Chains A and B, each alone.
Chain A
């Protein structure tokens, strides 16, 4: 029984998110629509949760991804770096229906990484002398720098190509982006995968995210893997 209790394997998104509640903070991986946790987001659209703090680079795009829960007014506060191509978010921002903190993308990544790595704060030149610096401690190094603090979350939902039962994860191409960082920064990390593999199937050298950072895994289904802007070589 003990080993069964410790199993990280869940059957679907609803089961893996059963204790996710209103008022919680949520990190969601993906860059635009690339590498987003589609099954978990769909589950959230059906769950009775609200007043969420969502930390995600784009909060969805073009009506897809996290926009699905944004338009249900489940998000109270959002941390993101880019809202271009997300008219639903821009609309809620201007209507003051949502509190959005725009964070420079490198600072966004590092704040999440710092959280998972036990770093209590760091100085960066990014944003010094701009609106981003307002209210932050400034210190002069080779150039002016500002103090940035870690970003934590109750849950992280991420999508990967492969995971094994321990939670070792392998990402495909540029789908990695923020996901391994978020996995390190959340109390509970839920990984949904296209392929669930046996222990040892991912060679140790190729593990992108070690299983220690993963609490729950399930094999997802019906992936759309939408392309936002299809560009091909003309010949």
Chain B
């Protein structure tokens, strides 16, 4: 079990920095705390005494949300459930509702935060590929000031980030992709409360006729130490038709990237299937002309 001497809930960033300075080396930051409590149990960290817990989830800057035509700014303590429930967020980040519905369960999502999912830097984190596909940047703040990093440079390895000891992840800024179709494909051992074996975020924008890809964004996790953006595959699809041939070529491309520690053959099969399913689902949600999608692929993967 987790024990602590004091549980501090700062009401502002400055209060948080002061508490961090005061208890330097003796604290742990929590937001939703849904990873921290199960971590301090037998079989994982066991009984852990953290002298000071600093709960940053009530800091207003970390809960702020704003969306305009081009960009969205998301506070790090935004609960995952908001991506399902807030229509303006859902429109700007079209793959996030699909990601959120696979994330833990309805109850944990109400408490677990987007910042916590990213900062834990699990190779299978569900939200990371979505935000990578949205070209997200992270805001890191400390008493020294603020810096901005691209998300791809922030997550540096399994459970490793560029966060400095005195810094907090306060929020994200990312592309608002209105008009895109989104999908999120995930597989684990069961439906709810499961860590991804593979997950794939897909964002698709089509031409006015709904027959060609104007933009495609793909990002995958669970197949290696880091979530990856699939830039080569995106390039191969951009400007092209929704033909079965194009989709199948694209689906084959990331198969070779599987570098996980276990179940590589299985993951290769999954990656190919997810690419087809994800592209078809996202294209359909982006308003694809029903005749433009290959019916045999749609029947098998849609």
Q: Do A and B bind each other?
A: no
Q: Which residues of A contact B (CB under 8 A)?
A: none
Q: Which residues of B contact A (CB under 8 A)?
A: none
